[in-house]
């Protein structure tokens, strides 16, 4: 289990392990609580009839105890449990969409789609619930609408394209990089809005989900046992034994594009050193 956990880290340390174990435990506990919360009978001593408010949404379900905290649900409030369920469903459905795109070898996979879906859900929660306690005469949800478009410029600057050339066939392939990082920047803006609006649980839980998806979510290339340190050393030694220097490479197929590139590089090196 320890080896399987380490493969998700380039440089594993005890501090990182403890931190992510705490995040995993927190997320699983919260997920369990928010899923079963509707089945609990939580006491409420306040009257549940609608208040007389101008322009009240007729579909609004008034609950005076929505912000009360209960020990049965780990001292969360029913309103926070609603936020948690929405964030969980957003991550799940976004992951499903990313899985479908990943099957077709698209650049945006499970992690990117789930982060975008999570960020959209968090922006929506902030628009409807983040500024209810503020004495404003204007629509405060405009804050949640303006920030994502502005942060989108930062995310666009992190997306770039790389050309990957196959060493055997010489075929060039365009690979899109930075999509997940750009989605993380966009989601970080949603976390900031949630904190600014006082939705601390939504921001903490959303950040925890983001950390788990970034660290343990499936990448473009699956992480398997062949990426371990032992197998990498074995494969590297096997390659060195099979190559036996550049000469062996050139003798395989000197007419292939890959071998021609090696020949040109060797000629340049020899000309530079005067050999």
How far is residue 194's CA from residue 216's CA, in Å, rounded to a whole number?
24
Of 42 and 2, the one with more pLDDT: 42
**Which pLDDT score, from 0 to 100, does residue 212 have?**
93
Whole-number average pLDDT of the chain = 77
pTM above 0.85, yes or no: no
Question: In the predicted model, is pLDDT for residue 110 greater than 60?
Answer: yes
**Which pLDDT score, from 0 to 100, does residue 104 have?**
59
Question: In the predicted model, is pLDDT for residue 86 greater than 90?
Answer: yes
Q: How many CB atoms lie within 10 A of CB 249?
A: 18
pLDDT digits (tens, 9 = 90+) for 164-220: 787 777 777 778 888 888 889 999 999 999 998 889 999 999 999 999 999 988 875
What residue spans define the domains of the chain? Answer: 2-222, 245-275
**Which pLDDT score, from 0 to 100, does residue 52 have?**
58
Of 175 and 221, the one with more pLDDT: 175
pLDDT digits (tens, 9 = 90+) for 25-55: 999 999 999 999 999 888 888 776 655 555 5
Nearest to 180 by CA among 78, 111, 256: 111
How far is residue 162's CA from residue 88's CA, in Å, rounded to a whole number?
33
pLDDT digits (tens, 9 = 90+) for 226-254: 333 443 444 444 444 444 444 444 445 55
Nearest to 122 by CA among 91, 88, 87: 87
DSSP 40: S
């Amino acid at each position: 289990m320890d080896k399987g956990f380490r493969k998700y880290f380039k440089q594993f340390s005890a501090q990182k392990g403890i931190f992510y174990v705490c995040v995993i435990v927190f997320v699983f506990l919260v997920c369990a609580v928010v899923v079963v919360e509707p089945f609990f009978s939580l006491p409420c001593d306040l009257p549940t009839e609608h208040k007389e408010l101008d322009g009240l949404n007729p579909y609004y379900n008034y609950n005076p105890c929505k912000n009360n905290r209960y020990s049965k649900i780990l001292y969360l409030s029913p309103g926070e449990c609603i936020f948690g369920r929405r964030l969980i469903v957003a991550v799940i459905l976004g992951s499903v969409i990313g899985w479908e795109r990943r099957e077709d070898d698209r650049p945006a996979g499970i992690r990117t789609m789930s982060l975008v879906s999570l960020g959209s859900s968090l922006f929506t929660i902030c628009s409807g619930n983040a500024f209810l306690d503020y004495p404003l005469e204007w629509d405060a949800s405009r804050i949640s609408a303006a920030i994502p478009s502005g942060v989108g410029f930062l995310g666009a600057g992190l997306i770039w394209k790389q050309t990957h050339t196959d060493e055997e066939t010489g075929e060039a392939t365009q690979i899109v990089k930075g999509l997940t990082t750009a989605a993380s920047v966009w989601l970080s803006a949603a976390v900031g809005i949630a904190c600014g609006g006082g939705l601390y649980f939504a921001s903490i839980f959303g950040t925890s989900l983001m950390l788990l998806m970034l660290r343990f979510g499936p990448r473009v290339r699956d992480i398997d046992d062949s990426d371990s340190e032992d197998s990498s050393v074995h494969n590297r030694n096997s390659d060195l034994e099979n190559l036996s220097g550049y000469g062996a490479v050139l003798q395989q197929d000197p007419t292939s594009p890959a071998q021609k590139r090696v020949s040109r590089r060797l000629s340049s090196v020899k000309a530079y050193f005067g050999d």
